[in-house]
Amino acid sequence: MTQHQLNEERTSMTRLFLTIILLCGSLIGSATIVLAEEPHAHHQGITLSPALRDVLRAEMREITTGIQNIAVAMATADWKAIQDHSEKVRVSYVMEKKLTPEQAKELEHTLPERFKQLDAEFHQRAAKLGVAASAHDAELVTFHYSRLLESCVQCHTAYARSRFPGFAPVMQDHHH
Ligand code: HEC
């Protein structure tokens, strides 16, 4: 082997090595995401009194209407409607309305921190959607809309699996 060939060999080995490192890096990256999602998988739901459950369900039906209206408003570039519906979704905060003081207390004690966090995030995303709509920024509106839908999915995956069995993982794990 000539010196030139040797050098070329080394360069391609280095390239291969770098590619492997990059590949491993992205694999570890996605593994981390999967692991980070894992803890929610163990929640099966939240236990609320029947009255509170009704309030939550009513709120869910309200935001469902809101999210459907937003989709149509987006398709028709009706910025004002997007803003109005986002605002309705944003303020439909289950912890802030239609609750007796006892129920508010119950909610505060019953809901896990993670649920509250997801809920807060959800309302922030609705607010951002409204801001994007006021700027007539279709691309940003679409982005925040998908983030909003992602919030529905995240919370339901973690806390409404018995209500929506479709969220159950395809692979059943047998470690209990
Ligand atoms: C922070 C948590 C959380 C977020 C965010 C959330 N949900 Fe829910 N949702 C729940 C829980 C918990 C239930 C199950 C209540 C029950 O046990 O029946 C539920 C139930 C529902 C129901 C069933 C209501 C009924 O009448 O039984 C619908 C529809 C629904 N959600 C739609 C949505 C949509 C659409 C979004 C997003 C735009 C969303 N939810 C975001 C927690 C959430």
**pLDDT for residue 94:** 55
- Given a cut of 80, whether residue 109 has pLDDT beyond it is yes
- Domain residue extents for the chain: 3-39, 45-167
Q: Answer yes or no: is pLDDT of 38 > 70.
A: no
Cα–Cα nearest to 144, from 92, 70, 94, 84: 70
169 against 117, higher pLDDT: 117
The pLDDT assigned to 95 comes to 52
For ligand 1, atom 21, the nearest C-alpha belongs to 60
Q: Which atom of ligand 1 is nearest to the CA of 56?
A: 15
In this structure, whether the domain defined by 45-167 belongs to CATH 1.20.120.10 is answered with yes
Cα atoms in the 13 Å half-sphere on the side-chain side of 45 = 13
**Statement: the pTM of the whole predicted model exceeds 0.85:** no
Q: What percent of the chain has pLDDT over 90?
A: 48
pLDDT at 99: 80
Nearest CA to ligand 1 atom 25: 57
Encode pLDDT of 51-62 as tens digits: 889 888 988 999
| Ligand 1 pocket check for 158: Cβ under 6 Å | no
The separation between CA 31 and the C-alpha centre of its own chain, rounded to angstroms, equals 18
Q: Is 167 in the pocket of ligand 1 (CB under 6 A)?
A: no
Q: How far apart are CA 42 and CA 44, in angstroms?
A: 6
pLDDT at 8 > cutoff 90:
no
Where residue 100 falls among pLDDT bands split at 50, 70, 90? Answer: confident
